[in-house]
Amino acid sequence: MVVSSALSLYSRSPSSVSITLYIVMFVVYALAQGHFVTTPYGLSVLLNNSIALAVGATSLTFVVLTGGFDLSLAGTVALTNTILSVAGFKGVGGALEALVVVCLVGAIVGTVNGLLVAYYKLQSIAVTLGTMIMTSGIALFMLNAPGGTVPDSIAYGLTGLLGPVPVAIIILVPFTAAATVLLNYTRFGIGVFAIGQDRAAARASGVNVEWTEFRAYLTAGIVAGLSGYLVSAETGTGDPRFDASFLLLAFAAVAIGGTSFRGGRGTVIGSVVGAGLLELIQKTLFAVGVSSFFTGMFEGALMILAVLVGSLGSMMAARRSAAS
């Protein structure tokens, strides 16, 4: 009965499991680390370590909801991170210029992906793998080894405190709200869900499938650029060989957050919380003395469990729909 109730709740709210797990894990982490965790600085550290992944997971969410995949996230992050570390942006004005640049870079990558997938009907996994390799190659051409310097206005301005409030939460809350509104309360967002659920039915109901899918990839590219901006703020330097594990963790965050890789079902909030949960797992395991070698095992098991629960929840929802 308890399991059935939990699955029923999950089928109605895909992000409910990840939110519940995050709360439980945060309590465990706080008990292991003590009062430091709930201080403004402690919360700032936790958020700074997960915000780039949360934004990256959101980027993937736009595409996954259509039933596609976007592997170009890692290359876009590597390229934008490299550009910020070598371009010589200075001061607050430079930080704003850098923000425009990373959005433009992401938009270019997203445009290429969207055109080839939506209008030329190429497989998304092949196209985005290609753009990932291309952008990673450009980043390596610009900076052949980790180095460079991200402007202090980005590295310190986005990772500190504004009074008692972490700057990261001032960024993350409006970002999550805006992405949620875009996906859930606009014609574009409704079209994204419709394409993921049934492409033919979406077209029959008046959705411009190609244009909507193109915009999903374009939006994902821009958001990926923002993720690179936040990675730069966290690291303070450039790395053209950006760790591919970031891409894997972003996909894990999407799955843990309740978004179906089949498309048509999921939430931005779930992906954001999923990213935070992955970071929290790492910190909790370290705090209780578990070797870091086991971190990936726990994260992988959690992702598989989330996908399993999601599948069972979808089956229950389908049965309720058929019964009604």
Domain boundaries, the chain: 2-323
Query: What pLDDT, on a 0 to 100 scale, did the predictor assign at position 2?
Result: 46
Lookup result for tokens 């890789």:
261
- Is residue 81 within 8 Å of 282, Cβ to Cβ? no
Instruction: Dig out the tokens for 33 from the structure.
Output: 């680390």
CB atoms within 10 A of CB 291: 8
Is-contact 95 151, C-beta < 8 A?
A: yes
Q: Quick count: other Cβ atoms within 10 Å of Cβ 200?
A: 9
Residue 118: per-residue pLDDT? 97
CB 298 within 8 A of CB 249: no
- Which pTM value belongs to this model? 0.92
In the prediction, which pLDDT does 317 show?
Answer: 56
What's residue 312's pLDDT?
Answer: 66
Q: Where are the beta strands (DSSP E) in the chain?
A: 161-162, 165-166
Kindly state the greatest CA–CA separation across the chain: 62
CATH architecture of 2-323: Orthogonal Bundle (1.10)
Would you say 273 and 15 are in contact if contact means Cβ atoms under 8 Å apart? Answer: yes
State residue 301's pLDDT score.
79
Amino acid at 133: I
What dihedral do alpha carbons 94, 99, 100, 105 form, nearest 10°? Answer: 120
Please name the helix (run of DSSP H) or strand (run of DSSP E) that holds residue 265, with its range, or none.
none
Residues of the chain scoring pLDDT < 70: 1-14, 243, 292, 309-324
CA-to-CA dists, residue 32 to 22, 26, 42, 289, 318, angstroms = 15, 10, 13, 10, 41
- In three-state secondary structure terms, 206 is coil
Residue by residue, DSSP assigns 75-102 as HHHHHHHHHHHHS---HHHHHHHHHHHH
| Dist CA 284 CA 240 (whole Å) | 30
